[in-house]
Structure 1
Amino acid sequence: MLPDPSPTVTVDGLLLRPLRAADEIAAREADAELHREGFDFLMAGTRSFPAIRRAFAAEARGDVEPGRVPASFYVGVDEAGELVGRVSVRWELNEALRHVNGHVGYAVRPAFRRRGHAARLLRGALTLLAARGTPTALLTCDETNTASVATIRACGGVLRDRVETDLDGAPFPEPKLRFDVPTTAA
């Protein structure tokens, strides 16, 4: 039997779970908030919310387009029931993801920052990767993203290297840092 493509996990009161239909308003609000910062929370474009949820479920099952990998999208819900952020867990890495982006991507809504939610999102993702047999996760972030650097290090991340160009040799607007993070430290 195949493992549940998107199991849930709770880390210090923060529940990581797939999107539900009832999350649409909060998820759209989060998408708008983070869009103002240049971040695509839902990775959805103009698709309908049911289409977004179907696409995430297909990726979690491994039903992916060429060039993509199986991945699960989770929202982080606090003890008050508030959607505080999201985390994407990539169960495999292709060449592009091994270069930048890695196993995990996360974001916390502006109103919920500086409360430890990013670390809980990341620890939850690391726990899920460990359960699937991934001993070390690759995480990347912009060199100037000091909050993310601190979160990754707090979760056991060790700097691997600094990357200045994409796979084709084009320079990034700012260098990326790549970290190895043991999933067992979660």
Structure 2
Amino acid sequence: MLTGTPQVRRLLPGDEAQARSAHAELAAEGFDFMLGYDDGEDFAAYLARLGREEHGQGLAPGYVPHTFLVAVAGGALVGRVSLRHELTPMLAAIGGHIGYGVRPAFRHRGHATALLRAGIRTAAGLGLKRVLVTCDDTNAASIAVIERCGGVYEDSVELLPGHAKLRYWIPATGSPSPPPPG
């Protein structure tokens, strides 16, 4: 159940402590909260790099331009969503356009749905007609979120015996532009 729609926006300098906490929490689950973040990296430098990467500048090998947004509810950074502006062969197979995650203490409140919807609106603002979203076949919560947001199952890709990624396409609809800076 949604306990107040979170504000979805870009990561700000004042988010550093909560972002580092979220990064550590989700790293324990194998999820990269702060996309491509090096634990020794200066936070201001990280934010500047995110800005460059959104415009396709200075991308690491295998990366594509992407928009990185966070959700804040009640003053707490509750999750994040990243929208990849294009798909590489690997992203087309198992990564998709949109990745999202919610901190454990804030799950089951509708934040993942809000994050995915924000990613879809941002994709529409970039001119994408549909987005690919994937999840582990064992992640019932993510499957429900994707289907709630209009996901249409296409197929699954087996990564290892007994472990697969499910692939869903969602029409990109919503606001005409990405969220404003900062």
- With normalisation by structure 1, the TM-score equals 0.85
Cα separation, 1, equivalents of 2:107 and 2:145: 12
> SS state of the match for residue 124, structure 1?
helix
Equivalent of 2:33 in 16, 35, 41: 41
Cα separation, 2, equivalents of 1:18 and 1:134: 20
Cα separation, 1, equivalents of 2:162 and 2:47: 31
Post-superposition offset of 1:174: 1.6
In the other structure, the counterpart of 1:161 is 155
Greater RCO structure (CA 8 Å; 6+ sep): 2
Post-superposition offset of 1:53: 1.1
In the other structure, the counterpart of 1:16 is 8
Cα separation, 1, equivalents of 2:161 and 2:44: 34
User: Deviations for 1:92-126, whole angstroms, at most 9, x for unmatched residues?
Assistant: 11111111111100000011100000000000110
Q: Give structure 2 stretches of 5+ with no counterpart.
A: 176-182
Cα separation, 1, equivalents of 2:147 and 2:155: 14
Residues 21 and 173 from structure 1, CA distance in 2 versus in 1: closer, same or farther, beyond 3 angstroms?
Answer: farther
Cα separation, 1, equivalents of 2:49 and 2:60: 11
Q: How does 1:60-139 map to 2 (within 5 A)?
A: 60-63=54-57, 64-78=59-73, 80-139=74-133
Contact 1:41/1:86 (<8 A) preserved: yes
How many residue pairs match? The answer is 169
Residues 85 and 91 from structure 1, CA distance in 2 versus in 1: closer, same or farther, beyond 3 angstroms?
Answer: same
Residues 61 and 144 from structure 1, CA distance in 2 versus in 1: closer, same or farther, beyond 3 angstroms?
Answer: same
Q: Give structure 1 stretches of 5+ with no counterpart.
A: 1-11, 166-170
Residues 28 and 172 from structure 1, CA distance in 2 versus in 1: closer, same or farther, beyond 3 angstroms?
Answer: farther
Contact 2:22/2:33 (<8 A) preserved: yes
* Runs of 4+ that moved beyond 6 A: none
Post-superposition offset of 1:61: 1.4
1:177 pairs with 2:151: no
Residues 174 and 45 from structure 1, CA distance in 2 versus in 1: closer, same or farther, beyond 3 angstroms?
Answer: farther
Post-superposition offset of 1:13: 3.1
Residues 62 and 153 from structure 1, CA distance in 2 versus in 1: closer, same or farther, beyond 3 angstroms?
Answer: same
Residues 30 and 68 from structure 1, CA distance in 2 versus in 1: closer, same or farther, beyond 3 angstroms?
Answer: same
Q: How does 1:52-67 map to 2 (within 5 A)?
A: 52-63=46-57, 64-67=59-62
Residues 99 and 58 from structure 1, CA distance in 2 versus in 1: closer, same or farther, beyond 3 angstroms?
Answer: same
